[in-house]
Amino acid sequence: MGLESDVNALTSEVSGTYLGPGVDHWICKLSGDGIFSVSSLRQFIDKLQVSIPGTSEILWSWVVPIKVLCFIWRAVQGRIPSAVALEKRGTLVNSLWCSSCIGMNECADHILIDCPFATQIRNNILSWYGVRSDQSSIKSIGDFLHFTATWGNCNSKRERFTAISYGLLWNLRRFRNKHLFRMEGTLVRQGTERIKSMVFYWLKHMGKNVICNWEEWLVSPFSGL
């Protein structure tokens, strides 16, 4: 139903196909020599100039683990496995309600931005920053990434601010999964401290610059800058 034109087009294309002599082999049309390479694929994608809304705000920091950066890239597109996203993909879910607040449908923006649990932790982290922000302007992951990418005039502070912000989003997803699959809750204060300790670990072991000690870090994430 509704596929007749597609079937006819496929039949027409297949009817003109024939098998020739010799051994089958693949030819890559992206490169001049017919051999596939990642660089040739990358050049092809760049020529298309595909723009994904919101992804331009992602700062690819070398301090942040690649798996976290990939998560942020998927989250801003709404492609993390939330209840709403899974239902759209044809997966049977028990409920679309958020497992934490049971107040709204569970989509990417709700898990990481709108949920009261996420909002409380974000407020704690921003208070720790000493950053004053109009929370009413942050309604989506894209809004939060834009706020992060345009904050301040000091590159060193913005880089650290970015690492903490990405750690915040990454851990909110982990807290949600822990509650959903292990039936283990996370207190707001406990979640806030875990984010601080994880990002401190990133900066200490993956950063090129010497970071302040733990006590100074708890007072201000910008200590030593």
pLDDT of 91 reads 87
**How distant is the alpha carbon of residue 116 from its chain centre?**
20
Structure-model confidence comparison of residues 50 and 193, the more confident one: 193
Domain boundaries, the chain: 67-77+108-219
Concatenate the DSSP letters of all residues of 160-178 into one string.
Answer: HHHHHHHHHHHHHHHHHHH
pTM across the whole model: 0.75
- Cα gap 85→102, rounded to integer Å: 17
Q: DSSP secondary-structure letter at 108?
A: H
177 closest CA partner among 99, 119, 107, 125 = 99
Phi (first) and psi of residue 75, to 5 degrees: -65, -40
**H or E stretch including 39?**
helix 38-48
Q: What is the pLDDT of residues 59-116, one digit of tens each?
A: 888 889 999 999 999 999 888 999 998 898 888 888 898 888 888 899 999 999 999 9
- Report the DSSP beta bridge partners of residue 97: 105
d(CA 4, CA 141): 41
Cα-flanking dihedrals φ and ψ of residue 144, to 5°? -65, -40
